[in-house]
């Protein structure tokens, strides 16, 4: 999901030899689509896996492969390239290149560039599982981390060689997310955020049930924005068809009761609770164990409903509640009901979805209700809005020392 975090950033994308070079074509597309400038530098080995012509076409800039490139008038590519960069990203980073970096070697353009840099360096390892587990590689990775280099991944799973294990490169989308995360201001660093998102599903029988309309997009966007702001994020999700945001711990639940129990198990550790889920207010008293048969003779089924626990109100009622944020979707008169709902739920901040209900859409417009009054945020896509809301929440947090 490419969004605006990287707009205007200038990245040197260093490629070393490995089959994962094919993923860099897609990564380059995601980065440039997000508005980043991508200057590709390839080692000789990388050019064996994908051509500089392909990378030039995707990045829209000439690719550098040699220290002795006659196009650079002062012959100082190793200095000039990193001086313009906001970061150097090495992807894929081979075993050999990690070893070189750990020892400060500088025997080709890319390694020299890394040693001569004055900007952050991120590496995205890609290698066979034995190469990754090799004690020398592990020593080198520990050294790189100690030197302040960010190591993104690796992933685990089937490898090009046919083996299965740790060492494969993160997928292009996950690499994009990790880079975007690196550039986000860490306004929630050290904070733990617990969120609920999506609908809940309350069974009537094993095949039927009642639910609320909610795509989960806003809650997932908030989880992603909180993670990128440096928080440790635990997302309790009802049934939704969405990918887990990178770096977020996700727990799937079905019913309001499950969601309530999951939240209550984890809330003691949370500094912030954001209840975005559209929790079903009622469930049937006794769901049928067997599928309710539809027969000509049988009368229409009737159900008795009981109330579900109000998760947000329960969190707000705790003796030491986290900073609790509610959401409200109304079909009318939000401006009247919003503040009334905030007071009833006893939360410091309640976010109202303005205008027509926006289930499943990517755009939204919200209004924030708090003791001091109501403030509208401009209409935007849900990810932009989520980032803005995280900034607003961070501004309102009490001192860490006072929270717990």
Kindly list the residues in this chain that would bind ligand C5P in the complex (CB under 6 A).
Answer: 196, 256, 275-277, 279, 281, 308, 310-312, 326-328
Residue 145 or residue 213: which is nearer to ligand C5P going by CB?
213
Determine what percent of the chain falls in helix, strand and coil, rounding each to the nearest 5. 35, 25, 40
Q: Write the DSSP symbol of residue 106.
A: -
Q: State in angstroms the smallest separation of the CB of 390 from ligand C5P.
A: 16
Neighbouring C-beta atoms of residue 346, cutoff 10 Å: 14
Distance in angstroms between the alpha carbons of the first and the last residue of the chain? 35
Q: State in angstroms the smallest separation of the CB of 262 from ligand C5P.
A: 12
Q: State in angstroms the smallest separation of the CB of 244 from ligand C5P.
A: 19
Neighbouring C-beta atoms of residue 371, cutoff 10 Å: 9
Residue 188 or residue 278: which is nearer to ligand C5P going by CB?
278
Q: State in angstroms the smallest separation of the CB of 342 from ligand C5P.
A: 10
Residue 281 or residue 362: which is nearer to ligand C5P going by CB?
281
Residue 177 or residue 202: which is nearer to ligand C5P going by CB?
202
Q: Give the residue from 27, 31, 41 showing the smallest Cα distance to 10.
A: 31
Q: Which two tokens stand for residue 231?
A: 């928080």
What secondary structure does DSSP assign to 332-345, as a single string? S-HHHHHHHHHHHH
Residue 26 or residue 365: which is nearer to ligand C5P going by CB?
365
Q: Among all chains, which residue has been given the structure tokens 């809005």?
A: 385
Q: State in angstroms the smallest separation of the CB of 348 from ligand C5P.
A: 13
Q: Which two tokens stand for residue 322?
A: 């986290």
> Does 33 count as an annotated binding residue?
no
Q: State in angstroms the smallest separation of the CB of 359 from ligand C5P.
A: 14
Cα-based torsion angle of the residue sequence 105, 18, 173, 13 in order, rounded to the nearest 10 degrees: 40
> Does 274 count as an annotated binding residue?
no
Which run of H or of E encompasses 7? none
Residue 337 CA to residue 203 CA, distance in Å, equals: 30
> Does 345 count as an annotated binding residue?
yes
> Does 150 count as an annotated binding residue?
no
What secondary structure does DSSP assign to 265-321, as a single string? HHGGG-SEEEE--B--SEEESS--SSPPP--SSSPPP---EEEPP-HHHHHHTSSS-
> Does 293 count as an annotated binding residue?
no
Q: Among all chains, which residue has been given the structure tokens 């966007």?
A: 221
> Does 369 count as an annotated binding residue?
no
Q: Which two tokens stand for residue 320?
A: 């030491």
Q: Write the DSSP symbol of residue 199.
A: B
> Does 9 count as an annotated binding residue?
no
Residue 154 or residue 198: which is nearer to ligand C5P going by CB?
198
Answer yes or no: 161 catalytic.
yes
272-275 sheet: strands from edge to edge = 249-252, 232-237, 192-197, 272-275, 323-329, 349-353, 363-370, 373-381
Among 21, 114, 119, 161, the active-site one is 161
121 — phi, psi (to 5°)? Answer: -125, 130
> Does 291 count as an annotated binding residue?
yes
> Does 341 count as an annotated binding residue?
yes
Query: Using an 8 Å Cβ cutoff, are 271 and 403 in contact?
Result: yes
Q: State in angstroms the smallest separation of the CB of 52 from ligand C5P.
A: 51
> Which residues are CB-contacts of 176 (< 8 A; sequence separation ≥ 6)?
2, 27, 30, 31, 34
Residue 26 or residue 335: which is nearer to ligand C5P going by CB?
335
Task: Mark the binding-site residues, compressed into ranges.
Answer: 281, 291, 309-312, 327, 341, 345
Task: Mark the binding-site residues for CTP, compressed into ranges.
Answer: 281, 291, 309-312, 327, 341, 345
Catalytic machinery residues? 161
């Amino acid at each position: 999901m490419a969004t605006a975090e990287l707009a205007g950033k200038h990245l040197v994308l260093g490629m070393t030899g490995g089959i994962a070079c094919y993923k860099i074509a897609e990564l380059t597309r995601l980065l440039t689509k997000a508005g980043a400038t991508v200057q590709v530098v390839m080692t000789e080995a990388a050019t064996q896996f994908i051509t500089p012509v392909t990378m030039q076409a995707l990045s829209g800039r000439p690719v550098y492969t040699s220290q002795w490139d006659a196009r650079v008038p002062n012959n100082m590519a190793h200095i000039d390239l990193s001086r313009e960069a906001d970061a150097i990203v090495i992807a894929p980073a081979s075993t050999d290149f990690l070893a070189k970096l750990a020892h400060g070697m500088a025997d080709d353009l890319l390694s020299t560039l890394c040693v001569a840099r004055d900007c952050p360096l991120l590496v995205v390892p890609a290698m066979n599982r034995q190469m990754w587990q090799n004690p020398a590689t592990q020593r080198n990775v520990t050294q790189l981390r100690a030197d302040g280099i960010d190591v993104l991944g690796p992933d685990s799973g089937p490898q090009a060689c046919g083996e299965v294990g740790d060492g494969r490169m993160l997928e292009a989308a996950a690499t994009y997310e990790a880079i975007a995360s690196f550039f986000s201001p860490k306004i929630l660093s050290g904070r733990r955020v617990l969120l609920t998102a999506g609908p809940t599903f309350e069974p009537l029988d094993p095949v039927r049930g009642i639910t609320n309309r909610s795509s989960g997009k806003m809650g997932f966007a908030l989880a992603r924005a909180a993670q990128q702001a440096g928080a440790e994020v635990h997302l309790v999700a009802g049934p939704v068809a969405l990918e887990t945001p990178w770096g977020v711990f996700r727990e799937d639940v079905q019913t309001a009761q499950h969601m309530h129990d999951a939240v209550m198990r984890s809330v003691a550790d949370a500094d912030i609770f954001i209840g975005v889920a559209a929790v079903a207010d009622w469930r049937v008293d006794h769901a049928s164990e067997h599928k309710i048969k539809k027969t000509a003779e049988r009368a229409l089924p009737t159900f008795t409903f009981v109330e579900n626990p109000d998760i947000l109100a329960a969190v707000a009622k705790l003796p030491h509640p986290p900073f609790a944020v509610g959401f409200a979707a109304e079909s009318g008169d939000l401006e009247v009901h919003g503040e009334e709902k905030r007071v009833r739920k006893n939360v410091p901040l309640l976010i109202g979805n303005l205008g027509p209900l926006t289930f499943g859409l990517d755009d939204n417009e919200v209004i924030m209700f708090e003791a001091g009054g109501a403030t509208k945020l401009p209409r935007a896509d849900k990810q932009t809005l989520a980032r803005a809301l995280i900034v607003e929440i961070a501004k309102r947090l009490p001192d860490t020392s006072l929270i717990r």
